[in-house]
Chain A
């Protein structure tokens, strides 16, 4: 899994691997390659790969979905920290 990241003052964001370079290109965490067209997710289809900065057990790190190949993954999106549900 990913190494611990050096933390800067910017607010890095996650990005889709394979997404064409956009406005957020300057952010430190961005990994942009033009290997494939971005696709929407659908069942039975490949999960779009992404890389994102993350917090994990006291450390700042990064998560890349394709690093999890060979394992089952439960990917959970939620509306926001400190929300109630």
Chain B
């Protein structure tokens, strides 16, 4: 939570809005933000913290754990058309890595900017070569991409 907030300006630079969701009430969100998170991140959490008390949202996103009554860790990248481009779901004890979310967003934005003409190979970072998708590439990926 605070890890994303800490890098919030990087998401903003990419034009990304963040929404956090848990089963806690908005009252609990407020107290957690004021009493703890604001001590970790200047000004507290800058994005909305939504309340999914009944798990209705978590259920359709496949992250609601009925036994525990919680939404497990799930991170979804949604594009401007409202299409889910990526998802990552983890059980509670292991946290996410913000760098990877940022990398994936940059990659999806690149692909979108090329209207799908380019794809990004494994481990791609901005500035690195992309793959020009088309008949000429079939069987020739080895020529242009060396891990």
Q: Mark B12-31, 1 if CB is under 8 A from A, else 0.
A: 00111111111111111111
Q: Is the interface of A mostly helix, strand, loop or mixed?
A: loop
B28 nearest CB neighbor, chain A only:
A81
**Could you tell me the dominant secondary structure of chain B's interface residues?**
mixed
Q: B84 contacts A45, CB within 8 Å? A: yes
Partner of A73, one of B19, B63, B71: B19
Interface string of B46-58 (1 = CB under 8 A from A): 1111111110111
Stretch at the interface among B92-100, B113-121, B128-136, B139-147: B92-100
Check if B49 sits within 8 Å of A85, measured CB to CB: no
A-B contact count (CB 8 A): 209
The answer to whether A66 has its CB under 8 Å from any CB of chain B is yes
- B17 and A74 form a contact (CB under 8 A): yes
Q: Does B40 contact A (CB under 8 A)?
A: no
Please name all residues of chain A whose beta carbon is closer than 8 Å to the beta carbon of B137 when the two chains form the complex.
Answer: none
Q: Which residue of A lies closest to B91 (CB)?
A: A79
Give the distance to chain A from B32, nearest Cβ to Cβ, in Å. 4
- Which chain A residue lies CB-closest to B64? A77
Interface positions, chain A 8-67, Cβ under 8 Å from B, are 11-16, 19, 24, 38-50, 52-58, 60-61, 63, 65-66
B48 near A56: Cβ-Cβ < 8 Å? yes
> A69 contacts the other chain (Cβ, under 8 Å)?
yes
Please tell me the number of chain A residues within 8 Å of chain B, measured between CB atoms.
50
CA A43 to CA B76, docked complex, whole Å: 9
How long is the Cα–Cα vector from A71 to B15 in the complex, in angstroms? 7
Q: List 10 A-B contacts (CB under 8 A).
A: A14-B52, A19-B56, A54-B29, A56-B48, A63-B48, A72-B78, A73-B17, A75-B21, A77-B63, A82-B28
| A interface list, Cβ under 8 A from B | 11-16, 19, 24, 38-50, 52-58, 60-61, 63, 65-66, 68-83, 85
